[in-house]
Amino acid sequence: MASLSDLPIRDDLRGLKPYGAPQEHVRIRLNVNENTHPIPEAVATDIVMAVAEAVLSVNRYPDREFTVLRDSLAGYLGSGITRENIWAANGSNEVLQQILQAFGGPGRSVLGFPPTYSMHSIIAAGTGTAWVAGERDENFEISPETAVAWIEKTRPDLVFFCSPNNPTGTPLSLETIVAAYDATDGIVVVDEAYAEFAPSDLPTALSLLEGRERLIVSRTMSKAFAFAGARLGYLAADPAIADALRLVRLPYHLSALTQAAATAALAHSAEMLAMVDDIKAQRDRILEELPKLGFPAWPSWSNFVLFGGVAEPHAVFEALLEQDIIIRDLGIPNHLRVTAGTVAETTAFLEAMAGLGPMARIGA
């Protein structure tokens, strides 16, 4: 049996490791920022019926332009956005991959700001796009001045932001996005996978799209919509962006079943998003309770919390795993990340952390 090193793989892929959070069959899974709330039964019934109807025509290729779905996504976003502004794919990872296929590639570079979503650099590597790691300010923030300085220093073809940022939960100001856009002739991507968990009265990068043909706002249905298993990511941008992505997408890349399920879910957006307030409440509960246990937590606008003060992160990860709870060890010294789950899941996590006691805390 051959090993990977025996194959004529691309030189720039040698030595790399695939993305993969641990997949453990445990009772409480709070490691990959899923929405742990089940889809409401009435909504699930409508989704099943829509998929069942779509099955009757799977002998034919799906709508290559997924027109109905794009109309539904545009209606959900509002803000004057129409189907021409929308593109979608099998999860936001595929959306980002298509962006880099169209605008990145060999001889081109993308600037990001670690710690950030790890797939940004992995997708860059997969498309032959050079990854340039900028530096954040204190508290994991990025000021307009910092963004512009890194753009002027590295002259990237693309700039990737994540707002709120994963894994820190940090927001990104609209001023930083505008400053970055004005400082480059390249593509600026704002990954808003967790936007629904931010304060609802604040504008997002969607408000900046008009007049900025090189700005892309990426979204997903995986988080707030509890649709991680359905794999539906999308973006909003100038219509010319979708024209560019049509050049690199695979034919009929969104199945009829995916289109039907996502469209049905969007028809129930109010019910699907009703659980967001509960998740935000559990996030805020974690933010309040962890410091009381000796683990300072970073402010978060997402459905997860990054917390520090952990003496040996992997040992704590393993100790929680023994209690049937999995969170995320990201390799950030003295830090771990936990997803906000249901009331019961959050309670179990907090009680487990309290039970670990001094062995888990720095200086205890």
Among left, alpha and beta (phi > 0; psi -120 to 50; other), residue 75 is: alpha
User: How far is Cα 335 from Cα 208, in angstroms, rounded to an integer?
Assistant: 34
| Exposure string over 73-98, b if 16+ CB within 10 A, otherwise e | bbebbeeebebebbbbbbbbbbbbbb
Does this model's pTM top 0.85? My answer is yes
Judge whether residue 316 has pLDDT over 80: yes
- Residues spanned by CATH 3.40.640.10 within the chain? 41-267
User: How far is Cα 276 from Cα 246, in angstroms, rounded to an integer?
Assistant: 33
CATH class of 22-39+270-360: alpha beta
According to the model, what pLDDT value does residue 362 have?
A: 77
pLDDT digits (tens, 9 = 90+) for 100-115: 999 999 999 999 999 9
Q: How confident is the model at residue 205 (pLDDT cuts 50, 70, 90)?
A: very high
Percent of the chain with pLDDT over 70: 99
- Residues spanned by CATH 3.90.1150.10 within the chain? 22-39+270-360
Nearest to 114, CA basis, from 157, 151, 168: 168
According to the model, what pLDDT value does residue 25 have?
A: 83
Topology of domain 41-267, per CATH? Aspartate Aminotransferase; domain 2 (3.40.640)
The sign one gets for the Cα dihedral 46, 228, 161, 100 is negative
Judge whether residue 334 has pLDDT over 80: yes
Q: How confident is the model at residue 18 (pLDDT cuts 50, 70, 90)?
A: confident
According to the model, what pLDDT value does residue 359 have?
A: 72
pLDDT digits (tens, 9 = 90+) for 249-304: 999 999 999 999 999 999 999 998 889 999 999 999 999 999 999 999 999 999 99
According to the model, what pLDDT value does residue 350 have?
A: 97
Average pLDDT, the chain: 95
How many CA atoms are closer than 13 Å to the CA of 177, on its beta-carbon side? 26
Tokens representing 50? Answer: 């829509």
